[in-house]
Amino acid sequence: MLKSLEWFDVIVVVAVLLFLIVASMYSSFKKKDAEEYFMASRSLKWWSVAGSIFGTNIHAQQIIGMMGVGYSIGFAQSHYEIWAIPAILVLCYIFIPIYRKRNFFTLSQFLETRFNANARLVYTVLMVAFILIQLIGGFYIGSRTLGLLFEGTGWEVSYVAGICIIATVTVIFTVFGGMESVVTADNILTIIMIASILLMGSFTYMQPEIGGLSGLLKLDHAEANKMHLYLPSNHPKLPWSGIFTGLTILNMFYWTTNQYQVQRVLAAKTDRDAKLGSIAAGFLKLIIPFFSIAVGSAAYYIFKTRYGADSIKPDDTFLTLLKTVVPTGYGLVGLILAGLMCAIFSAIYSMMNSVSTMMAYDIFKKYINPKASDKKTVRFGQLAVFLICNVAGILAFSTYDPNSSDNFFLKLANQTSYIKPGLVVVFFWGVLWKQTNPIAAVMVLAGSPFIGLGCDWIFENILIQYPFIRQTFGETFNFLYRVFSIFLIGSILLVIWSKYLNANGKAKIAEFDLGISLSGIGSTLFWFLLTQIPFIVVALLGLISPQTAATPAAIVCLLLFVWFHKRAKDEMTLFKSDIFYAGLLTSSMIWIMFYFA
């Protein structure tokens, strides 16, 4: 209960939210056609792309959920942010050139161009289902947060009322705003959220139980060992082997095949804006491990001392920490709450904007009215927002318990893990192998959830009987292992079916010029592994500590990217080149992954 919420904090919250609404809605008055409404006229500069990607990515589920996982499990949750960097590079140097060359509105249009209309339809259905699950979770955590936020202030918000408020604001904002308004909101949100996260983290590290990040590392080493990235392979939540298998696939899905994330780079003004914006968003993501997840780990020690062990539910960590460490009377509490409330709404705006785009172009213009005017296309997209918000609100009320003590972020990841891997299989094989058959692609897309259910059954009824399996993978089938299993089995089936169907002349393979050099990408990956594997080997053998290897490994990585820049004969100077900043981002990832081993 935020009993310390004062009038000055309320004024700050209201002022920030009004500014957000006015600034982002201003652009809605100049909408003219569908491209402006759905794609912001493809005019976004790199900083708008970066802010929108970060605002879409780091939403309330991320902030509250990740801090809660940091509190209950530890720093290993940081892999969700750090290990996203390889996927960002794949987006920049493989998929951005492919997508933007053809001016797609939706990624399902890519699948139709590469395969057929059925692939486009199945993708649309799966993505709408995925976004619906995300929306249900967003309504749940948003309403729960609003209830805790105003508890004891005289403005109590019930769980049902919170869902209605979020759904109503989302419908009004998305229907009238369009993508340009969503992007403006995302950029404002990014500034507010970074300020809020840095404030929360700084005040937490200043607590006498912690004594800064260095103090947290010393305290952690002496007690719970929460500040390590790698947990045992049989860990029930975040096994290290699952990170380098299943989480890799999940990140590839999110950054390369996910409509509501990739739509930001599709709307960029140039390819360079798209690449630099994505890389800049990667740098912003590195704030989260140290000012959200590690802060959650620090909260474990603070709460243990002041309230008793396990006295706080993981999903309540953020608000409990807010009332515990942030001083009142200066508007800081109001600023942080405003940032959190913006995060609740902005992620939902972004998802609804993408649903609106897919429903308008992949359903309405494709099947219902191919000759529809821009006005009718926009209206249908707006109607889809209204309907899906209502469905998500009803399901959020009926399927989630607002008093749950589970780790919400991991629960949501588990629920969506049946859908994502099949999308990655089809997109990646469609790019990497020209012989991928359209019928085989559709079969894997549609069948991936059933492959996942089959993997669950095999593990729970057959494999679990073997002691080696239980010792290696744990008593339950972790969703990260399920994701990799779906990807692996789906890839095998795709190749087998493609070879069979191609041999029997089933479905013509479309001529599709990728416009990228796969041999060049393979060479880049080879040199990266060649320079990094020695550091990994000597660290694993104990010849030097991972902490000692961190800095030289990062330096070698950066120098390698400088060489890549020269080899690419980039017209940009080194410090203006996206390749250099990609190297700086990658070397930062390398340092963190070694140092916190």
Q: Are residues 506 and 565 in the same domain?
A: no
Q: Flag whether 102 is in a domain.
A: no
pLDDT for the residue numbered 1: 42
Q: Are residues 425 and 470 in the same domain?
A: yes
Q: Flag whether 111 is in a domain.
A: no
The amino acid at residue 431 is V
Read off the CATH number of the domain in which 211 is found.
1.20.1730.10
DSSP assignment, residue 327?
P
How far, in Å, are 41, 187, 404 from residue 350 at the CA level? 16, 12, 26
Cβ–Cβ contacts within 10 Å for residue 100, how many? 19
Q: Are residues 499 and 534 in the same domain?
A: no
Four-residue CA torsion sign, 36, 42, 48, 54: positive
Phi, psi of 407 (to 5 degrees): -80, 100
β-sheet bridge partners, residue 231: 239
Q: Flag whether 1 is in a domain.
A: no
Q: Flag whether 150 is in a domain.
A: yes
Q: DSSP string spanning 171-197?
A: HHHHHHHHHHHHHHHHHHHHHHHHHHH
pLDDT for the residue numbered 334: 82
Residues 291 and 216: their CA atoms lie apart, in Å, by: 13
Q: Are residues 388 and 434 in the same domain?
A: no
Residue 94 makes CB contacts below 8 A (sequence gap 6+) with 256, 431, 516, 521
pLDDT for the residue numbered 330: 78
Q: Flag whether 31 is in a domain.
A: no
The amino acid at residue 370 is P
> Which of 291, 325, 286, 288 is CA-nearest to residue 305?
325
pTM (2 d.p.): 0.88
CB-based burial, 16-43: b 16+ in 10 Å, e otherwise: bbeebbeebbebbeebeebbbbbbbbbe
Residues 50 and 115: their CA atoms lie apart, in Å, by: 31
Q: Flag whether 87 is in a domain.
A: yes
Residues 14 and 145: their CA atoms lie apart, in Å, by: 17
Residue 569 makes CB contacts below 8 A (sequence gap 6+) with none
Q: Are residues 84 and 159 in the same domain?
A: yes
Residues 581 and 175: their CA atoms lie apart, in Å, by: 37
Residues 189 and 58: their CA atoms lie apart, in Å, by: 10
Q: Flag whether 332 is in a domain.
A: yes
Half-sphere exposure at residue 41, Cβ-oriented, CA atoms within 13 angstroms = 10
β-sheet bridge partners, residue 239: 231
Residue 154 makes CB contacts below 8 A (sequence gap 6+) with none
Domain boundary at 458, 487, 514, which? 514
Q: In terms of C-beta density within 10 A (0-12 exposed, 13-18 middle, 19 or more buried), how is residue 182 classed?
A: buried
What is the Cα 16 distance to its own chain's centre?
A: 25
Per-residue tokens: 231 = 């947990």
Q: Are residues 364 and 236 in the same domain?
A: yes
Tell me the average confidence (pLDDT) per consecutive run of 10 residues in the chain, 597 residues long: 62 76 62 65 86 80 80 90 95 91 85 90 89 84 74 75 84 70 76 86 92 86 79 87 93 91 89 95 93 90 84 81 84 81 74 85 89 86 87 86 64 78 93 90 93 93 89 86 95 94 77 69 90 95 94 96 86 86 97 94
Per-residue tokens: 151 = 């508890």
Q: Are residues 430 and 501 in the same domain?
A: yes
CB 132 within 8 A of CB 359: no
Domain boundary at 514, 533, 568, which? 514
Query: Mutual orientation of helices 317-325 and 332-358 as an angle, nearest 10°?
Result: 150
SS3 content of the chain, % helix, strand, coil (to 5): 80, 0, 20
Per-residue tokens: 241 = 């082997």
Residue 576 makes CB contacts below 8 A (sequence gap 6+) with none
Residues 346 and 174: their CA atoms lie apart, in Å, by: 10
Q: Are residues 354 and 426 in the same domain?
A: no
Q: Are residues 506 and 538 in the same domain?
A: no
Half-sphere exposure at residue 232, Cβ-oriented, CA atoms within 13 angstroms = 9
Number of structural domains (the chain) is 3
In three-state secondary structure terms, 332 is helix
pLDDT for the residue numbered 2: 45
The amino acid at residue 74 is G
Q: Are residues 163 and 287 in the same domain?
A: yes
For the chain, the distance separating the N- and C-terminal CA atoms, rounded to the nearest angstrom, is: 37
Residues 50 and 45: their CA atoms lie apart, in Å, by: 9
Q: DSSP string spanning 232-291?
A: -TT-SS-BHHHIIIIIHHHHHIIIII-HHHHHHHHTBSSHHHHHHHHHHHHHHHTHHIII
The domain in which residue 566 lies consists of 518-595
Half-sphere exposure at residue 137, Cβ-oriented, CA atoms within 13 angstroms = 26
Q: Flag whether 309 is in a domain.
A: yes
Q: 159 in the Ramachandran plot: left (φ > 0), alpha (ψ -120 to 50) or beta?
A: alpha
Residues 114 and 95: their CA atoms lie apart, in Å, by: 13
pLDDT for the residue numbered 152: 65
Domain boundary at 514, 531, 559, which? 514
How far, in Å, are 147, 334, 345, 400 from residue 338 at the CA level? 14, 6, 11, 25
Q: Are residues 462 and 335 in the same domain?
A: no
Q: Are residues 527 and 481 in the same domain?
A: no
pLDDT for the residue numbered 407: 59
> Which of 121, 126, 112 is CA-nearest to residue 438?
112
CB-based burial, 223-249: b 16+ in 10 Å, e otherwise: eeebbebbbebbbebbbbbbbebbbbb
